[in-house]
Amino acid sequence: MFYDEDNATRQATDLDLLEEKRESASIHMEAYKNRIAQSYNRRVIQRSFQVGNLVLRKVQEEQRGKLDSKWEGPFKIIERLSSGAYYLEDAQGKTLKRPWNAYHLRKYYS
């Protein structure tokens, strides 16, 4: 009852323009992702260490009291993983169980 020829032409036009709308949405999404990445990277402090460097390790919140130090160490870096994590060794030469991300480490100045 409500069907007319004009409706069919509008539907065909919308289907023709569908690919353009998808491309436009994709371009806007990529621009948005780039802006978010730039905003994040502006705040990130890049840290990289070499094997043999001495570093301090951040103490986990549940393991420290209100007045305790936030950092413990020094630890020696014995291996660097491709993901940016490091295996550490304490002063007695004991290797720690798990690797630590560079975010939780900082350079030790003796």
The label of the residue with tokens 């014995």 reads 78
The structural domains of the chain, with segments of one domain joined by +, span 1-44, 54-107
Comparing CA positions, the residue from 42, 41, 60 lying closest to residue 101 is 60
Q: 3-class DSSP state for residue 34?
A: helix
Radius of gyration from C-alpha coordinates of the chain: 27
Structure confidence at residue 38 (pLDDT): 94
Tokens at 96, concatenated: 């720690």
In tens digits, the chain (110 residues) has pLDDT values of 566 777 778 888 888 888 899 999 999 999 999 999 999 989 887 888 999 999 999 988 777 778 888 999 899 999 999 888 999 999 999 999 999 999 899 999 87
Q: Tell whether pTM > 0.85.
A: no
Report yes or no: 84 and 99 within 8 Å, Cβ to Cβ: no
Name the class of domain 54-107.
Answer: mainly beta
Structure confidence at residue 71 (pLDDT): 93
